[in-house]
Amino acid sequence: MLQFKESFFYQFFKLAGPFWSSEDKTAIRINTFLLVFLTIVQMALAVYITKWNADVFDALEQHSMSGILKQVGVLILIFIASMTVTTMHLIVKRRILIGWRLWLTEKVIGKWMNNGRHYQITFMAKNNHDNPDGRIAEDIRIATEDAIALGHSLFYSLLLLISFTQILWKLSGTVTLNLGLFSMTVNGYLVWISMLYAAVASMLGWWTSRPLTSATNVRQSEEANYRYGLIKAQENSQSIALIHGEENEQKRFNRSFQGIIDTYRLQTNAWKQIQMFSSGYSIATMGLPLLVAAPRYILGAISLGTLMQSVQAFQQMVSALSWPVNNMPGIAGWRASVERVLGLVKALDDLDYDISCLNSHQICSKKWDKSLIHFANVSIGSLEGETVSATINTDIKPGEHVLIAGQSSTAAKLFQAIAGLWPWGTGQIAVPENERLFFMSPRPYLPTGRLDEAICYPKPASAFKRADVEKLLKRMELKDLINQLDRAESWEKLLSREQQQRLGMVRVLLYRPKWLFIQEALDSLTPEGEEHMLRLLAKEFPDMAIISITNQPAAASFHQRKIKL
What local confidence, expressed as pLDDT, does residue 56 receive?
83
Mean pLDDT taken over the chain: 84
Among 296, 322, 354, the domain boundary falls at 354
**Residue in 162, 146, 150 with CA at minimum distance from that of residue 316:** 162
User: Distance between CA 160 and CA 145 in Å, rounded?
Assistant: 22
CATH of the domain at 25: 1.20.1560.10
Say how many domains are in the chain: 2
Assess if residue 8 is contained within a domain: no
Whether 487 and 547 share a structural domain: yes
What local confidence, expressed as pLDDT, does residue 356 receive?
65
Assess if residue 5 is contained within a domain: no
| Residue that wins the pLDDT comparison between 6 and 131 | 131
Whether 347 and 390 share a structural domain: no
Whether 310 and 337 share a structural domain: yes
Among 321, 354, 387, the domain boundary falls at 354
Q: What would the pLDDT profile of 367-402 be if each residue is shown by its tens digit?
A: 888 999 999 999 998 877 788 888 999 999 999 999
User: Distance between CA 344 and CA 339 in Å, rounded?
Assistant: 9
| Rounded mean pLDDT, 318-338 | 81
Q: Grade residue 92 by pLDDT with cuts at 50, 70 and 90.
A: very high
Q: Grade residue 177 by pLDDT with cuts at 50, 70 and 90.
A: low
Q: Grade residue 121 by pLDDT with cuts at 50, 70 and 90.
A: confident
User: Distance between CA 71 and CA 123 in Å, rounded?
Assistant: 69
Q: Grade residue 480 by pLDDT with cuts at 50, 70 and 90.
A: very high
Min mean pLDDT across 43-52, 282-291, 464-473, 529-538 is at 282-291
Min mean pLDDT across 23-27, 54-58, 226-230 is at 54-58
Q: Grade residue 1 by pLDDT with cuts at 50, 70 and 90.
A: very low
CA torsion sign, 135 to 136 to 137 to 138? positive
Assess if residue 4 is contained within a domain: no
| Residue that wins the pLDDT comparison between 505 and 388 | 505
Range of the domain at 394: 364-564
> What are the percentages of helix, strand and coil residues in the chain, rounded to 5?
65, 10, 20
Q: What would the pLDDT profile of 199-223 be if each residue is shown by its tens digit?
A: 777 777 777 776 776 777 778 778 8
What local confidence, expressed as pLDDT, does residue 125 receive?
66
Q: What percent of the chain has pLDDT over 90?
A: 31
Helix (H) or strand (E) holding 431: strand 425-432
